[in-house]
Chains A and B, each alone.
Chain A
Amino acid sequence: MKLTGSKILLESLLLEGVETIFGYPGGTVINIYDDLMDSSIKHILTRHEQAAVHAADGYARATGKVGVALATSGPGATNTITGIATAYMDSIPMVVITGQVPTGLIGNDAFQEADLIGITRPITKHNYLVKDVKDLARIIKQAFYIARTGRPGPVVIDLPKDVQMAITEFEYPEKVELRGYKPTFGGNVRMIEKAVKMMLAAKKPVLYVGGGATLTDAHAELMALAETLQMPVTTTLMGMASFPKRHPLSLGMLGMHGTYYANMAVTNSDVLIALGARFDDRVTGKISTFAPHAKIIHVDVDPTSIKKNVRVDLPIVGDLRDVLKKMNKKLAEHKDEVVQENEAIKPWLKEIAAWRKDHPMSYKHSKTEIKPQFVIEKLRELSNDDAIVTTEVGQHQMWTAQFFDFTQPRTFLSSGGLGTMGYGLPAALGAQAAFPERQVIDVSGDGSFQMNSQELATLVQYRLPVKIVILNNNFLGMVRQWQQLFFDKRYSQTCMELPIDFTKLAEAYGATGLRATKPEEVEAVIKKAFETPGPVIMEFKVSREENVMPMVPAGAGLNEMVLAS
């Protein structure tokens, strides 16, 4: 069958199982948009290309499938950059398709030309400029394969306009052949056996779980390992929802704004088992005092993550879920040792319980002011267990991580690596597009919300009933907190002088706006929001100078937490 490049693209997407894409049209993708009218692929028109990419990212994080975004050349393509970098840092499988000026004009500073391949090289897992329509089907096949296998990541396909119009025989390849790309799937059995021995012999083990657990859907295997060996579990922001926080073995999050007891447990551990985590500086604090007594086992699919920041005693390269399965299987052969280990570990669990009792995750309640943490607790109480929560970046993000008890995998979507303000709303949009029936909530600050607030229009247009929580402190709160603590309260450019009426903003877009200014109104507003069809903004006027605590100051060790400000 002979087809144009543009039709080949859409047919190939269908063959990859793509149902929904997010995008924004323009001159160099006008052919694709024309063909989209006759395609069964659903296209969601965001109001900004950055949002299209974040929406594809949210879709991918919520479903585990590859997210797809489409943008025109030049300014459309450069608008995707923050979205691509966000996905790259958090290893999110995604394919971004951009139009490009015709091949004959490339390099001529043509109208709406930008060297997207050059610009995105360091923020993609791989990228392609398609120069010949004959290569297109193969490139799409490879792009999807690369995006979702190994350590997932975004792949860019830059598609010149003349290639979209050129005609060739369409045949979608069955297999991918890449000489230079052979991701490791199964972990080395001998190493896994060694790891199991180390865990069985440990007196003070801690499981430190990162985004890899989410990406490989390893929650059941993780639970089995933790419960068999009665090992406490701490997660990073990215690993958050892969182990239920209400579980007795859960220590919550570790790191800069983690729990006191998670950080103490890591510091005092004798075996630290890092699972799909990359020892980010926000997690480790000062490297020299990070888990100083521990032998470190590190399981990761990406060899470059291993020994990048910390010494590792036992590296295992492989797909986390596969490795955990093998570990659990091995453990089943060591029933007696498991019983002994469960006994030997009891004093350690007691020690941790004492830390937890001394310094639980808490905050000062108030009768007069709305405490942001209180809103998050109420939100958890009043939302469904399978509600998907996205966040922007700042204090509200950390409070959500600290006070929302996530119980199900893939229910917490947040920009961990890049820390992108403006991520949450479009990510919620993407998640809601994937799961129209589930509750989807974006927890935002008043600053972050204004970075992509135009997406209210998209929510209303496509009837995506995302519930938006704005913890309004009229500050760029997280930066203000640092200025308070480390810059003598010199609040340089962090006060949002102009108060915005967010309820009116919601109404302008045809959404619903609700507001609470007193603690006793919080519950009613949240309930009302969940009862109201369509997108709703809930604006909470929260205590303005509340700080995220506890905190490991930048450059300090995990054992040097400041507990209250």
Chain B
Amino acid sequence: MRHTISILVENEFGVLTRIAGLFSGRGFNIESLSVAPTLDPTLSRMTIVTSGDDRIIEQVNKQLNKLIDTIKVIDFTGEDFIEREMALIKVTAEETTRAEILRICDIFRGKIVDVTPKCYTVEVTGSPVKVNAILDLLRPMGIKELVRSGPVVLGRGPKGWKGN
């Protein structure tokens, strides 16, 4: 099962390798990982999407907690949370398809952020499901290049960490 986990870590030298090394060394999956400093610049917040059965996910959580640089781990799976991911999509824009691209973009509240005679670059933000959906619609026009940020998450309401 897919799990989305937030990790609050010391913003220290090598902390990203510690986390990534833990996953590779113990054979855990990483589907995506995103990381950036928090409001408190001595801390970083990571979002990791992983998958595995209950026993593996329990180990993932415990092993993450065991790292000295880890301050807190929240597994949002089964919780009410907001999950957002950004994608930049370079899509072939011919005379015949431009209008359609614009329409799709509009439906998904995306933006065209770069235009050349042959292609558009679309910026879209949403849940991974939504990003997948726009990709499905744009694919027939010819996607030339794609980059996704991997999701970041925040708990709804009080669930989460204060101040960071």
* A122/B70 contact (C-beta < 8 A), A303-B65, A304-B59, A304-B62 known: no
Residues of B with C-beta under 8 A to A104: none
Cβ proximity bits B1-33 to A, threshold 8 Å, 1 near / 0 not: 000000001100110011001000100000000
Interface centre among B18, B21, B25, B68 (most CB of A within 10 A): B68
* A121/B18 contact (C-beta < 8 A), A180-B68, A303-B66, A307-B55 known: yes
- Which residue of chain A has the shortest Cβ distance to B62 in the bound complex? A304
Residue from B17, B25, B58, B68 within 8 A of A118 (CB atoms): B17
Residues of A with C-beta under 8 A to B104: none
Residues of B with C-beta under 8 A to A146: 68
Q: Give Cα distance in the complex from A15 to B145, angstroms.
A: 59
- Which residue of chain A has the shortest Cβ distance to B58 in the bound complex? A307
Question: In whole Å, how far is B68's beta carbon from the nearest beta carbon of chain A?
Answer: 4
Contact assessment for A302 and B59 in the assembled complex, using a CB-CB cutoff below 8 Å: no
Question: In whole Å, how far is A130's beta carbon from the nearest beta carbon of chain B?
Answer: 10
Residues of B with C-beta under 8 A to A325: none
Q: How large is the interface on A (under 10, 10 to 19, 20 to 34, 35 or more residues)?
A: 10 to 19
Residues of A with C-beta under 8 A to B9: 180
Residue from B21, B59, B62, B69 within 8 A of A180 (CB atoms): B69
- Which residue of chain B has the shortest Cβ distance to A129 in the bound complex? B13
Residues of A with C-beta under 8 A to B65: 303
Residues of B with C-beta under 8 A to A126: 68
Ranked 3 nearest A-B pairs via Cβ: A304-B62, A180-B71, A126-B68
Q: How large is the interface on B (under 10, 10 to 19, 20 to 34, 35 or more residues)?
A: 20 to 34
Determine if A111 is an interface residue (Cβ-Cβ < 8 Å).
no
Determine if B63 is an interface residue (Cβ-Cβ < 8 Å).
yes
Question: In whole Å, how far is A305's beta carbon from the nearest beta carbon of chain B?
Answer: 9
> How many residue pairs bridge A and B at CB < 8 Å?
36
Contact assessment for A303 and B71 in the assembled complex, using a CB-CB cutoff below 8 Å: no
Contact assessment for B21 and A121 in the assembled complex, using a CB-CB cutoff below 8 Å: yes
A residues 173-212 touching B (CB-CB < 8 Å): 178-181
Determine if B67 is an interface residue (Cβ-Cβ < 8 Å).
yes
Residues of B with C-beta under 8 A to A125: 68
* A308/B68 contact (C-beta < 8 A), A118-B17, A179-B10, A180-B10 known: no
Q: Give Cα distance in the complex from A179 to B43, angstroms.
A: 11
Contact assessment for B69 and A304 in the assembled complex, using a CB-CB cutoff below 8 Å: no
- Which residue of chain B has the shortest Cβ distance to A303 in the bound complex? B62
Q: Which residues of A contact B (CB under 8 A)?
A: 117-118, 121-122, 125-126, 129, 131, 146, 178-181, 302-304, 307-308
Q: Give Cα distance in the complex from A178 to B21, angstroms.
A: 21
Known: A121-B21, A131-B13, A307-B58. 12 other contacts (CB 8 A): A117-B14, A121-B17, A121-B18, A122-B25, A146-B68, A180-B69, A180-B70, A303-B66, A304-B59, A304-B63, A304-B66, A307-B55
Q: Give Cα distance in the complex from A303 to B25, angstroms.
A: 18
Question: In whole Å, how far is B24's beta carbon from the nearest beta carbon of chain A?
Answer: 9
B residues 25-83 touching A (CB-CB < 8 Å): 25, 55, 58-59, 62-63, 65-71
Residue from A122, A131, A181, A303 within 8 A of B21 (CB atoms): A122
Residues of A with C-beta under 8 A to B55: 307
Question: In whole Å, how far is A65's beta carbon from the nearest beta carbon of chain B?
Answer: 21
Question: In whole Å, how far is B20's beta carbon from the nearest beta carbon of chain A?
Answer: 10
- Which residue of chain B has the shortest Cβ distance to A118 in the bound complex? B17
13 A–B contacts, CB within 8 A, in A order: A117-B14, A121-B21, A122-B21, A122-B25, A126-B68, A131-B13, A179-B10, A179-B71, A180-B10, A180-B70, A181-B68, A302-B66, A307-B55
Cβ proximity bits B117-144 to A, threshold 8 Å, 1 near / 0 not: 0000000000000000000000000000
Q: Give Cα distance in the complex from A82 to B68, angstroms.
A: 22
- Which residue of chain B has the shortest Cβ distance to A127 in the bound complex? B14
Q: Give Cα distance in the complex from A122 to B21, angstroms.
A: 7
Residues of A with C-beta under 8 A to B58: 307
Interface centre among A117, A129, A180 (most CB of B within 10 A): A180
Residues of A with C-beta under 8 A to B59: 304, 308
Q: Give Cα distance in the complex from A302 to B66, angstroms.
A: 8
Question: In whole Å, how far is B42's beta carbon from the nearest beta carbon of chain A?
Answer: 9
Residues of B with C-beta under 8 A to A121: 14, 17-18, 21
Q: Give Cα distance in the complex from A125 to B22, angstroms.
A: 12
Question: In whole Å, how far is B12's beta carbon from the nearest beta carbon of chain A?
Answer: 9
- Which residue of chain B has the shortest Cβ distance to A304 in the bound complex? B62
Q: Give Cα distance in the complex from A181 to B70, angstroms.
A: 8
Residues of A with C-beta under 8 A to B62: 303-304
Question: In whole Å, how far is B81's beta carbon from the nearest beta carbon of chain A?
Answer: 23
Residues of B with C-beta under 8 A to A302: 66
Q: Give Cα distance in the complex from A551 to B70, angstroms.
A: 42
- Which residue of chain B has the shortest Cβ distance to A306 in the bound complex? B62
Question: In whole Å, how far is A122's beta carbon from the nearest beta carbon of chain B?
Answer: 5
- Which residue of chain B has the shortest Cβ distance to A125 in the bound complex? B68
- Which residue of chain B has the shortest Cβ distance to A305 in the bound complex? B62
Q: Give Cα distance in the complex from A138 to B128, angstroms.
A: 43
- Which residue of chain A has the shortest Cβ distance to B43 in the bound complex? A179
Contact assessment for B67 and A180 in the assembled complex, using a CB-CB cutoff below 8 Å: yes
Q: Give Cα distance in the complex from A303 to B9, angstroms.
A: 19
Question: In whole Å, how far is A89's beta carbon from the nearest beta carbon of chain B?
Answer: 14
- Which residue of chain B has the shortest Cβ distance to A131 in the bound complex? B13
Q: Give Cα distance in the complex from A122 to B22, angstroms.
A: 8
Residues of A with C-beta under 8 A to B21: 121-122
Residues of A with C-beta under 8 A to B18: 121
- Which residue of chain A has the shortest Cβ distance to B13 in the bound complex? A129
Q: Give Cα distance in the complex from A363 to B68, angstroms.
A: 48
Q: Give Cα distance in the complex from A146 to B63, angstroms.
A: 16
Q: Give Cα distance in the complex from A118 to B68, angstroms.
A: 16
Residues of A with C-beta under 8 A to B25: 122
Q: Give Cα distance in the complex from A302 to B69, angstroms.
A: 16
Q: Give Cα distance in the complex from A19 to B9, angstroms.
A: 35
Q: Give Cα distance in the complex from A126 to B69, angstroms.
A: 9
- Which residue of chain A has the shortest Cβ distance to B54 in the bound complex? A307
Q: Give Cα distance in the complex from A322 to B162, angstroms.
A: 34
Question: In whole Å, how far is A224's beta carbon from the nearest beta carbon of chain B?
Answer: 31
Q: Give Cα distance in the complex from A452 to B127, angstroms.
A: 58
